[in-house]
Amino acid sequence: MPAQAWHPSSWREKPIAQDVIYEDKAHLEKVLTKLRRLPPLVSPVEIDRLRAQLADVAAGKAFLLQGGDCAELFDDCSQDPIEHKLSLILLMSLIILHGSRLPVIRIARIAGQYAKPRSKPTEMKTKVEKKEVLSFRGDNVNGYEADDRAPDPERLLGAYFHSTATLNYIRTLLLSGFANLDKPLDWSFSHVRSPEIQKAFAAVIESLQDSLDFMKVATGKVGGGERGGTETVDLFTSHEALLLEYEEALTRGYTPDQPQSFSPTSTPALSRTNSRLRGVEESNGAYPHSPVRPPKSPKLSDSLQGLSMSVTELDKKPSPKYYNTSAHFIWIGDRTRQLDGAHAEYFRGIQNPIGVKVGPSMEPEEIARILDIVNPDRIPGKVTLIGRYGADKVDKFLPAHIDAVKKTDHPVVWQCDAMHGNTKSSKTDPNLKTRHFVDVITEITKSMEIHKEKGTILGGVHLELTGEVNDEGFSVTECIGGSMELEDKDLSFNYRTHCDPRLNYEQSLDVAFLLADYLKSKRRGEEPKDILLAGLRGRAARQ
């Protein structure tokens, strides 16, 4: 059976999970109308470039590093937080690049990650008296304080403008030489207090400087602006596409042979058919108004022939392709990937590369079905399967999921989200959520081993992390273990997240060295030595 016709609002005909209920529908529509008129945040050219690079990841020719905040806050749209996030991703990618000798595709959870799903729509809050309130769904939905939980449509505009400002500053930094490999120590590394990380990174820098010096002597310059060059890099944005009203408003039609033509989602292409037909007929003589030649009366057969030609030419005109211009890459969460749901319906019609979270609750046959829905044309680089199983479950569920995909002809990127399946409560303060570093690296290493056994490729990792530091230069304390040897009792020292716990600066670099060691050994055909992380496992396991 042919697939039902898709348009940017066809998701509205499907059941939707994690919906946000706005009391004032007129206010919501006013905001959405404004969003439809606002400029795109990213371009189809950038989106297509990312999809091509992800096709390299699927083929084992590149590595995907995706990371950032669990949920961005509007207050994070400031110079220092943006620079710290960017510098951390650059440092991690440099370490992985050095070990793997593969291009590293950098996708940040930034400039749009303002909404979060919740396991429950409400929660109990205690200030003066205990009361039930709506759950905090992110800054683009409601406020964190208990008395500010009503969904407010104006926050959607806030999300757009904060995303715009964040993206603008990222572009400014990258175009101003922030990613220049001649100056890696400028990427906010000086505050790192782990002696093991300092020593390991010093070795990377020494090797890098030798390579750069060789390039200067051999070529007379250090090149350039291209992907993998030393002066700038590609950095793409991403977020979970929860609020489909917002995503639809920023979905724009784009005709490949007319790069200047963006059509807003409120103007379906079919509504312009008659005017386009008339224009074609005019060009074929049905409406001759040439100021040079006097009009002549056409024969009926000539008129019918002209009409036939015009319809044929109209049929040949390419239909617009639709791009979500709010980010380069968006993903469907574990709670919203229902096969007959609104999110799957929306995702199947856009050109962006997309992610699909998969975990223990997903049956193997469901994976093949959702791949058929969101990527029926089997476009390489289109779909990234983001595994989020948990360290104690990955070896039980991942092999069957890999087998299910191998039975199809779908090209996918396999990615490991080692965060969301490993959330626990703090023993010291049960109100705090945390993650143990040993669980994070265990899930990553197990995933690597399983893919190796199956003959498939773990193409990348997806991490919740932050480069945020306090006024004294200390990283956040939200996850236990790692080279800083954080313990459960240390969590309250600099616990900042409003949602899920994130790897801090040092822990993120720990993961980067683990990945570099593995990819380096794979490149050389050796067993991973895991020199740095061997000790970290022991210390983390003792927490």
List, as one string, the DSSP characters of 16-38. Answer: -SS----S-HHHHHHHHHHHHHS
Is 420 one of the annotated binding-site residues? yes
Is 155 one of the annotated binding-site residues? no
**How far, CA to CA in Å, does 331 sit from each of 322, 343, 421?**
16, 10, 17
Is 357 one of the annotated binding-site residues? yes
Is 464 one of the annotated binding-site residues? yes
Calpha distance 14→367 (Å, rounded): 20
Beta bridge partners of 254: 262, 321
Is 439 one of the annotated binding-site residues? no
E-strand ranges in 290-410 read: 321-324, 329-332, 354-358, 383-387
The string over 305-344, giving b where at least 16 C-beta atoms fall within 10 Å of a residue's C-beta and e elsewhere, is ebeebbeeeeeeeeebebbbbbbbbbbbbbbbbbeebbbb
Question: Look-up: residue for tokens 């950098």?
Answer: 106
Beta bridge partners of 386: 357, 415
Phi–psi pair at 175, nearest 5 degrees: -75, -15
Q: Measure the N-to-C terminal CA separation of the chain; round to a whole number of Å.
A: 56
- Binding-site residues for Mn(2+) sit at 70, 420, 464, 500
Pick out the residues of the known binding site for phosphoenolpyruvate. 109, 357, 388
Binding residues: 70, 109, 357, 388, 420, 464, 500
